[in-house]
Amino acid sequence: MGEYNEINDFKEVLFTREQIADMTKSLGKKITQDFSEKDLMVMGLLKGSIVFMADLLREIKLPCVLDFMAVSSYGNGTESQGRVQILKDISESVLGKDVLIVEDIIDSGVTLNFIVNHLKNKGAKSVTLCTLINKPERRKKEVDVKYIGADIPNEFIAGYGMDYAERYRNLPFIGVLKEEIYS
């Protein structure tokens, strides 16, 4: 099959590899300062968060426990269905831990609202949200996002872990997909 060039599927690049690295470094520095006296667990949401989370972990200069959850609220569409299903729960105990949820993008807030409550019910001391990309105008459920790489308008984006139909996750940039790709 060879190399593929999916750049033609995008109408614009929102964030380059360098811009993403700068945002990640800044977030890591703030998290390191804020969690310096805490029992930190960094929890990623599969699959989208994995690229950002790997880079962010290298910028957090603290000991931490790492875990993942896999949830679904989208199915194969572009709109959250409003029902959250846990596909893979955390493996580690959150009892008494300060949990930092790392997400690639937060839009409706439905999934994160569910997960925050889920982890608090499991005994987490605190649950804090970190996202690379925030789409506040799409909120259906309010969530308190403490660490935000960038706010963006309501555009359909992909790249750097974010996908459309499982494609584009491995691209080093974040771009706005052309409408004909996802409609």
Give the pairing type, strands 10-15 and 65-72: unpaired
The residues facing 156 across adjacent strands are none
Give long-range contacts, CB 8 A cutoff, 24+ apart: 141-145: 141/108, 141/109, 141/110, 141/112, 141/113, 142/109, 142/113, 143/106, 143/109, 143/112, 143/113, 143/116, 145/106, 145/112
Which strand ranges, in their side-by-side order, compose the sheet holding 85-88? 85-88, 65-72, 40-46, 98-106, 126-134, 145-151
Query: Which of 107, 144, 151, 163 is the catalytic position?
Result: 107
Region of residue 139 (left: phi > 0; alpha: psi -120 to 50; beta: else):
beta
Tokens 């033609």 identify what position? 8
Residue 9 bears catalytic tag: no
Q: Please give the positions annotated as active site.
A: 107
